[in-house]
Chain A
């Protein structure tokens, strides 16, 4: 019987792909962000609006992750941006290897930025680095203001928190959501997190998000 110290990272295979992805993106000078949220938070609607409103300012390519269908990639292409759909067929998160294959299909030379829409899930995607420059967590108002407290991992690791569907907070409050509580809980986990309350439907608050996003391409 022999005990051997290994000290090897369990996800080292994923990290090797993530490193390759970040090197490829750096070669092209293309920043990349990984959008993570629950299913139904409005990630695709947010992307479509962002792409449309920033037409002529920022050329965005999208990698879409879903268990099934290419519905999301079709919506992105309809907004006239290149999109690659990954179907994980049951997988609860995107892996760096999947993103590596998708990056090869994007015209990186003609893009200013790549946005990855991860599989809808607040837990698993947080554990897998994709080679991105930062994670962006999207929380929508109907999900409840307690999500930062309940799912600390993703809020602790993200550079940006987009609080979407704030149009539901107006006109007699259709949902109970304490914006302040969500912000305080998120900042408690992550002092430097940038928080943008937005409505991808009405466009409210989107300008601040666009300013942050376009600010990333001069880095």
Chain B
């Protein structure tokens, strides 16, 4: 359940951004690669629990999974890796190199202004 630590960081980052802008966060979009093994259900559950009582309470979390790519050692084709059957879709070769996985990223936050007009 490393999703708990990820959720904790998410809440801190979104809260800080909200504080900086004097705005209320409504929705947050994050992206992740495949190798960090993020389970959407676990992350959403942890985020909701940790967000309670913070500026992130009620924020809708959107999680986007970026494909892990590999470069074929035979023909050079770059393709999305499917671990259940890894071979080049172009030449069928099984010799490939994994390209760097996408990091865990807060991509976008949607805000609305504070009700008390502080912003």
Where the two chains meet, the residues of A that have a C-beta atom closer than 8 Å to any C-beta of B are 1-14, 91-93, 95, 123-124, 126-128, 149, 152-153, 156-157, 188-191
Contacts and interface: CB of A to CB of B under 8 A. Distances in A.
Contacts of A2: 23, 110-112
B5 interface: yes
B106 A10 contact: yes
Nearest to A15: B103
Given A1-B112, A11-B6, A124 B1 contact: yes
A128 B5 contact: yes
| Chain A contact surface mostly | mixed
Given A3-B110, A8-B13, A189-B98, 17 more contacts: A1-B110, A4-B111, A6-B109, A9-B104, A10-B6, A10-B30, A11-B9, A11-B104, A92-B2, A123-B37, A126-B35, A127-B6, A127-B104, A128-B2, A156-B98, A157-B35, A188-B96
Interface residues of B, number: 35
Contacts of A126: 35-37
B89 interface: no
Contacts of A8: 13, 105-106
Nearest to A184: B94
| Chain B contact surface mostly | mixed
Interface string B1-45: 110011001101100010001010010001010111100000000
Interface of B: 1-2, 5-6, 9-10, 12-13, 17, 21, 23, 26, 30, 32, 34-37, 83, 86, 94, 96-98, 101, 103-112
A93 B4 CA distance: 11
A109 to B, nearest CB: 32
A127 B110 contact: no
B106 A188 contact: no
Q: Sorted from nearest, which 6 A-B pairs have the closest CB atoms?
A: A124-B2, A10-B104, A153-B35, A127-B36, A6-B106, A2-B111
B104 A4 contact: no
Contacts of A10: 6, 9-10, 13, 30, 32, 103-106
B37 A153 contact: yes
Nearest to B104: A10
B98 A4 contact: no
A92 B35 CA distance: 17
